[in-house]
Amino acid sequence: MVADIISGNEVAKAMRAEMKEEISKMKGAGITPGLVVILVGEDAASQVYVRKKGEACDELGILSETVRLPESTPEEELLKLIDKYNADARFDGILVQLPLPKQINEEKVLMRIDPGKDVDGFHPVNVGKMVVGADSYLPCTPAGIQELLVRSGNDPKGKHVVILGRSNIVGKPIANILVQKAAGANATVTVCHSRTEDLPGLSRQADILVAAMGVPKFVKADMVKDGVVVVDVGVNRIDDPTAKKGTRLVGDVDFDAVKEKAKAITPVPGGVGPMTITMLMKNTVQAAKVHHGWTG
């Protein structure tokens, strides 16, 4: 079996076209969704993500502001900035790019964001709502994975989803989302991590395998069964002397080997990445609807 390639670029493009139309209607009624993105420090990957978020806002007609702060920024200064944007009605969403420098307590920062503006879905109020299946802002990468699975005809209902990785950004939330009694979910979920015994044995049982542990090409062909659907969340930059930049991006999956056994697989880049940003736009539009009572 040679896998279908699940194109996040294509799904994201279709969703962005739908949203663009909706935003233009909202603007006609005097409502412009707004997103502020705050980046502290110089992390190379974060710089790229933040730039892409701004570009996506511009493309869709969302008001965007990017605040870049030095690596040495004191925690109190960041908290004050969040208070300022919590009170600024032009902005429906506030995103603080992670990771943060070590002098800043991530939990404290995420808890300071108004849960109604938490378009990342990281505030404990939104995490709690997600777990109990109440309406909330879902974290963007897991929500994007769910959307990709459903739109590519790989509904997780009744399937055994094995997740590799237990981060707060991907592993834990995707497990909670896919186990819900809800459309696009209803999966049986196993979460594997660095202390799991016989991880390859478990990953071979997956109907749908989500690789999100951040180890380049970790998933080999002998770790999957024939006909598996693979979602690769990894974004790893590795040396490649044949590439123009001397490096290239690879996922957590050995793509060339695994695609020979899989039914479908997401590529890196062009798989999960574009979906994450698209779901951020969707959450921002949703926040604007709530803030303005828009039901159009």
Catalytic positions, written as ranges: 53, 97, 120
Round to whole Å and give the CA distance between 35 and 102.
25
Which residues within the stretch 117-146 sit at the binding site for ligand GUN (CB under 6 A)? 120, 140-141
Cα dihedral: 14, 143, 39, 75 (round 10): 160
Q: Establish whether the linkage from the previous residue to 99 is cis, with ω within 30° of 0.
A: yes
Sign (positive or negative) of CA dihedral 221, 230, 233, 173: negative
If the CB atoms of residues 41 and 259 are measured against ligand GUN, the closer one turns out to be 41
CB 32 within 8 A of CB 88: no
CB of 5 to ligand GUN, least distance (A): 23
Interface stretch with ligand GUN, choices 94-102, 155-163, 175-183, 285-293 (CB under 6 A): 94-102
98 binds ligand GUN per the rule CB under 6 A = yes
CB of 181 to ligand GUN, least distance (A): 26
Which residues have a Cβ under 8 Å from the Cβ of 112 and sit 6 or more positions away?
A: 79, 82, 83, 86
278 binds ligand GUN per the rule CB under 6 A = no
Which residues within the stretch 158-217 sit at the binding site for ligand GUN (CB under 6 A)? 169
95 binds ligand GUN per the rule CB under 6 A = yes
CB of 97 to ligand GUN, least distance (A): 5
Round to whole Å and give the CA distance between 179 and 130.
11
If the CB atoms of residues 120 and 147 are measured against ligand GUN, the closer one turns out to be 120
